[in-house]
Amino acid sequence: MQEAVKLVECPRDAMQGWPHQISTDNKVRYINALLNVGFDTIDFGSFVSPKAIPQMADTKDVLAALDLAGSRSALLAIIANKRGAEDAVAYDAVRYLGFPFSVSETFQQRNTNSSIEDSLQTVEQVRSLCSTRGKELVVYLSMGFGNPYGDPWSEEIVFRWAEKLASMGIGILSLADTVGLATADQVSRMTSFLVKSLPKVEIGVHLHAPPQGWQEKADAAYNAGCRRFDGAIKGIGGCPMAGNELVGNLDTERLNDYLQQKGIETGLNREALAGCALIANEIFI
């Protein structure tokens, strides 16, 4: 077996842009099933404005009903400001807080209602809060592979922000292909640079891709040294704040099969994973 990877399952990303409201009971049933699969981390919900993301308005209720006994999976919650972070760190069960830091000024305003500079201050506030409360902050480099808004973008801009965030003590950075613009060559080049230039930082990828283009991107990231992959069962998801058709996440079942065929250990229970896919078929209709 080759070096193990961390698989991060993202039911929050799958649910947040779904056109029909998913009941709290179904969210709990689904995430409880995911807790038995063996994922490193489950991105389960978000502490954000219910007006912005109505689907996530019941995150606290979902969290209260989860059965964490015996699960090795850590929970990650997305936050968009200090207030959300203060809500999230109050829960012992939440291990990670995730903050979307966009290299696109337009998208940062759309996604968190703040500027890039203001968001940088938020990152520092949340990092300090996490440090005092025994949590860890994951920063997503949103629009990491380009953006459709005409904002200045280059690989050098992404690298500068990554280096700035690393200098602030951020230990996990995830390159996010928010609207599915990345090419496999780009994923390879950018991931490789960050893995080599920031050896003390865990570099992950949160790739959005249509069903026909995911494997090339996943392969490029792995070969570039990435060992942290976000995905969602059935490839459902995307960012509703981007104002585009949801591109979709990496399909967890396909990603797991692909990695295991390469001799890479994922630690997932196939039977439990298949059971989650059946629940997903019932929920996402």
pLDDT digits (tens, 9 = 90+) for 58-102: 999 999 999 999 999 999 999 999 999 999 999 999 999 999 999
Nearest to 192 by CA among 159, 230, 234: 159
Q: 275 near 268, Cβ under 8 Å?
A: no
pLDDT at 177 over 50: yes
Mean pLDDT of 228-235: 96
Which position has the higher pLDDT, 188 or 245?
188
Mean pLDDT of 13-25: 94
Name the active-site residue from 10, 130, 226, 239. Answer: 239
pLDDT of amino acid 1: 47
Domains of the chain, first to last: 6-283 (3.20.20.70)
pLDDT at 161 over 70: yes
pLDDT at 243 over 80: no
Mean pLDDT of 119-144: 97
| Residue 276 annotated in active site | no
Confidence of residue 33 (pLDDT cuts 50, 70, 90): very high
Average pLDDT, the chain: 94
pLDDT of amino acid 178: 85
Mean pLDDT of 239-255: 72
